[in-house]
Structure 1
Amino acid sequence: MSMHVVLEGFDDRSLRSKVELYWQEKAHRIERFLKGYPSDVYELRLTIHASHKGEHNWWYEARGVVRLPTGTLVAHREGEDPIALIDQIVDNLVRQIKRHRELVRKDYLYKRKSRAKRDLVAAEPLLAQDKSRGRQRDFFRLLRPLLNFLADHARRELRILEIEGVIHPREVSVADLLDEVLNRAWRQYPKRPDRLPLYVWLTQLLHDVIEDWVRQEPRPHVSLQTRVLEGVQDLPVHEIQVGEDEWWAALLGYSETLTLEDLVPGCDPTLRWDELEPSEQREQILQLVRRLPRPQRQALLLSAVEDLDLAEIAMLQGRPEEEVRQDIDHARRQLRQWLEERQQIEPATRDDGSLESNVSSSKFGELG
């Protein structure tokens, strides 16, 4: 990281030293929210101009700048106390960094998912041709790399089942699930409903695989992958393709990130939440999400994270759109209530400043 402090007009050396030391101390808070960016690609700069205000008073103008590969953030404050100005600058920059990272992440994920959908649409005629002509190996070679769009969703579902104690840790892997989806896609392709887009149908197959695996008693402690056509396991691994304006987002690991903003838009995380490591935040989110009834949980994740619209979720779950919409709304309000109770987000307020009432947990039954 390149960090600079420019103090103009500071005649008092002791004050200059105090301001420099305080900035170095507070800058660590900003660095915390820049984890993921290589330290040599971002710059942090503080500039404070001191000037006389009257015969004995001083006036200070402070500007903080964070330059990132994905954008430049600026905060400006003025006042009579340079230490207080640093606090204000840091608070403002931290808020901006959090918003900026979220916007970059969402933009990257949207582009990645849109590209995955386009790739599947382009592959449909060839998949149909391979199936009709019995070319299983060609079908597998074409579709298997395109199933990467399901990987994050599969990983979250497996982790929730592990938290619930339904499956043992590492009992089944994401690769196992995707390989079984591949097998089922081959067997069931001629019966695929015309009304279901291919990516929705494949998501449905993934849910079916998980449900069938959970229902097996006792479940086999062997990999599902053994049932994949021999010779397909050695297919080359395809890297996720990103554009020139997206590679920093990919570098930051956004493809595996689940955030509060995804599930509770507009929430304001507290310092207690911000102090958690990203891995701890994801785990706590999943701990809460798994308490929701399964249809509501799946509807919320499919909408908020997988970018499916209400009509697609309704088709996938076989229920009315309005019911899906109500479930997503109820799930978000319940998550907000739990997070507020844990003091991990600030209480929601109405326009008049009063606190909003939360949804009753009775709507969700006994959730534990």
Structure 2
Amino acid sequence: MGAEIEAMTSDSEAGELWQRAVEGDREAFTRLTEPLLGRLREAATHELEHFVAVGELPEDATTAEEVVGEVLLRAWRQRHRKPADFRLEPWLLSILYRVIDALVHEHRRKTELAEALAGQHPEAPPLEDDDEFWEWFQPEDLPIAEPLLPQAPPSPEEIAAKLGARPRLLSTASRRALWLHQRHRLAVREIGAVLKKPAAEVRELVETAAERIRRSEEPGAP
């Protein structure tokens, strides 16, 4: 559906608006990002609910609205780094995951620092810096449409329900890969660019995650 949202603005007009945004036109930036705000809030809510459920964020850590606000601030500052042919939605989602991961990392760092002072655990290593992160967004990583999940895949609602009942059912990478594929309808290479994973690994993550969701209610399911 992300492609349909961006199709509300013609490709040529979107390209012109983005060029104006890159040159410093905030109104053009807003026109392009505003149709995606609902989907960004939904993605932020999904991430926050998961990390609260598994105990990696406190309930009052932040809100989806605050996460989206930070995403837009970072996107504006880093707009020169978006490849011209990379769609806006996956690019913004990649920034959203950076924001969420930074929150989780900071909470973990504070917790482990307190434990380290008590002689229990070493402090968590720092996240990679922005320069290292954006090295993944190169022309060879641009999206290539690729069919996936020939079987009937779980719906976003089913995914959310199963993970709500069993939040540790999937790893973070598997959960995000399946969510990006099913809810945001990203192509394999787009998901790979967002998650910094090669296409073959993305395919395996999505297929395995979908299978675990399908089998999660079977007797004796892991």
TM-score relative to the length of structure 2: 0.67
Q: How does 1:290-329 map to 2 (within 5 A)?
A: 290-329=168-207
Within 1, Cα distance between the matches of 2:190 and 2:179? 13
Indicate which of 58, 69, 72 corresponds to 1:168: 58
Shift of 1:218: 4.2
1:175-194 C-alpha deviation (Å, 9 max, x unpaired): 11111111011110111134
Higher relative contact order (CA 8 A, sep 6+): 2
**1:152 equivalent in alignment to 2:30:** no
Within 2, Cα distance between the matches of 1:302 and 1:218? 30
* Alpha-carbon distance change, 170 to 124 in structure 1, aligned in 2, over 3 angstroms: farther
Within 2, Cα distance between the matches of 1:200 and 1:211? 16
Structure number with greater Rg is 1
1:194-224 C-alpha deviation (Å, 9 max, x unpaired): 45222111111111111112222449xxxxx
- Structure 1 runs (4+) greater than 4 angstroms displaced: 280-284
Whichever structure has more strand as a proportion of its residues is 1
Within 1, Cα distance between the matches of 2:78 and 2:4? 24
> What percent identity do the matched residue pairs reach?
25
* Alpha-carbon distance change, 175 to 314 in structure 1, aligned in 2, over 3 angstroms: same
Q: What's the counterpart of residue 234 of structure 1?
A: none
What is the letter of the counterpart of residue 74 of structure 2? R
Which consecutive unaligned segments of at least 5 residues does structure 1 have?
1-109, 220-260, 266-277, 343-357, 362-368
Q: How does 1:47-66 map to 2 (within 5 A)?
A: none
Q: What's the counterpart of residue 205 of structure 1?
A: 95
Q: Considering only aligned residues, what root-mean-square deviation do their CA atoms show, in Å?
A: 3.0
Within 2, Cα distance between the matches of 1:281 and 1:299? 12
Whichever structure has more helix as a proportion of its residues is 2
Within 2, Cα distance between the matches of 1:124 and 1:170? 39
Indicate which of 80, 101, 104 corresponds to 1:190: 80
Shift of 1:293: 1.2
Q: What's the counterpart of residue 142 of structure 1?
A: 31
**1:128 equivalent in alignment to 2:6:** no
For the Cα contact (< 8 Å) 2:188–2:199, is it kept in 1?
Answer: yes
1:65-117 C-alpha deviation (Å, 9 max, x unpaired): xxxxxxxxxxxxxxxxxxxxxxxxxxxxxxxxxxxxxxxxxxxxx4xx44322
For the Cα contact (< 8 Å) 2:188–2:202, is it kept in 1?
Answer: yes
Q: What's the counterpart of residue 288 of structure 1?
A: 166
Shift of 1:128: 2.6
TM-score relative to the length of structure 1: 0.43
